[in-house]
Amino acid sequence: MTFIILASIFALVPPTAVRAYDTPDDRGGAITIEWQLSADDAQLQRYEIYRSENGIDYEKIGLIGRGRNQIEDDTEDNKQYIYKVAAVVDSVRAFSEPSSTVMSSAQWLNRKKINIIIAVIVFGGLILFFIQHARRGRELFVREIAGLHAIDDAVGRATEMGRPILYCPGIGYIEDIATIASLNILGEVAKKCGQYETKLINPHFDPIVYTVAREIVKESYTNVGRPDAFDPDSVYYVTDSQFAYAAAVDGIMLRERPATNFLVGWFRAESLILAETGASTGAIQIAGTDQVSQLPFFVTACDYTLIGEELYAASAYISREPLLLGAIKGEDWGKVIIGAVLIAGSIIGLLTVFPIMSVFD
């Protein structure tokens, strides 16, 4: 009788329905194990996961707290495995039935990203359509962007004052799109500097961005027929330390007194330090970044700010190249689609919230 009572106290209900499967959408080397929680889950200390290659010898490969029913195991591809899960209290273990045999393998396509691929195809297709549209010579209207409209005036002002132009591309790396967009604008600004024979100062944070920028500025001077005006020392590397870079650029602003400061690219906390120092020197400041957290600082301390997408539109706007303008039109239609989806979603959401209109419940 005593034996029966003790056995009923210590007899744990094991987890059931153990299922092991190759982790989907991965590069292989992983199997996911799932199970139904034990009926005694609330009393358990943990679950232990055991693995076997032959169905006889099991080794413990991991453990997980109660209330949880999934774990991922690192495996060798194309090798068969069987799993068991044990419910554990102290030294008492209740083992589940073994899973069916499973092996991991690498997948070619990540299906979780299909929605992103479709969105990229739709929006990319729109952009390419409008580029093609522009290629056929159709006139495209692009609204005036004050910050870009001011570039000519800013370069002209520097020329009249006999002072240099400072172009700061921020602390981004070459893989940051904001840095690439900044380099595109740098090319156009350098052309104007070449035309007006205005000195350009272009300090850099990243050595790769520096080498690319140097070639861009050199080519820009060549393209406007002034290769002789290009000063190789006008584009230079400073440091890859964030605040040392900010200190260096502040120093340039205070010593060289540029008539115009371009703060265009990828910025972090140094944005306000640069923009406020520039404002104190009385320079015209044109800033632009896609970093939402830094935009308020630029808006406050600079004369013109390129907000988000305006940064990407800048090169097209300045060069007025029809193909590039076509891409901007495509972006606008992309926004129309997103706006329409948001409005439709909001309406559906509202219809769901109000019981009287519970069309989509």
Partner 1 sequence: MKRNFPLLLVFVFGILGIIPFILPHPMVQNTDEFLRNNLLKILAAFALILGLGSLLRVHFDKIRRKGQNWEYSWVLIGTFVVTSIIGLFGGVSGTGILPTRLGSFAFDIWTIYFNIEVPLGAAMFALLSFFMASAAYRAFRARSTEATLLLASAFVVMLGVLPLGNEISPHLPSFAQWIMDVPNVAGQRGILFGVALGMLATALKIILGIERSWLGGGGE
At residue 124, φ and ψ (nearest 5 deg) are -65, -40
3-state helix, strand, coil in the chain (%, to 5): 50, 20, 30
Among 39, 106, 118, 343, binds partner 1 (CB under 8 A): 106
* Residue 327: strand, helix, or coil: helix
Residue 330: CB atoms within 10 A of its CB come to: 21
Subset of residues 107 to 126 that bind partner 1, contact rule: CB under 8 A: 107-110, 113, 117, 120, 123-124
Cite the DSSP H helix spans in the chain: 2-10, 114-135, 146-161, 177-196, 207-223, 242-256, 270-280, 295-301, 309-319, 322-353
Subset of residues 138 to 197 that bind partner 1, contact rule: CB under 8 A: 177, 180-181, 183-185, 187-188, 191
Stretch that binds partner 1, among 44-52, 152-160, 244-252, 348-356 (CB under 8 A): 244-252
Per rule CB under 8 A, count of chain residues that contact partner 1: 87
Q: Is 211 in the site for partner 1 (CB under 8 A)?
A: yes
Stretch that binds partner 1, among 1-9, 39-47, 136-144, 204-212 (CB under 8 A): 204-212
Q: Which two tokens stand for residue 144?
A: 């005036």
Query: Cβ closer to partner 1: 86 or 259?
Result: 259
Query: Cβ closer to partner 1: 47 or 266?
Result: 266
Stretch that binds partner 1, among 19-27, 54-62, 79-87, 258-266 (CB under 8 A): 19-27
Query: Cβ closer to partner 1: 90 or 112?
Result: 112
Query: Cβ closer to partner 1: 25 or 160?
Result: 25
Instruction: Answer for the pair 314, 287: CB distance below 8 angstroms, yes or no.
Output: no
Determine which helix (DSSP H) or strand (DSSP E) holds 86, and give its type and residue range: strand 82-89
Subset of residues 271 to 330 that bind partner 1, contact rule: CB under 8 A: 272-273, 275-277, 290, 292, 295-297, 299-301, 307-309, 311-313, 315-316, 319, 323-324, 327-328, 330
Among 18, 86, 88, 127, binds partner 1 (CB under 8 A): 127
- 10 Å CB burial of residue 256 (0-12, 13-18, 19+) is middle
Q: Is 226 in the site for partner 1 (CB under 8 A)?
A: no
d(CA 136, CA 100): 61
Q: Is 207 in the site for partner 1 (CB under 8 A)?
A: yes
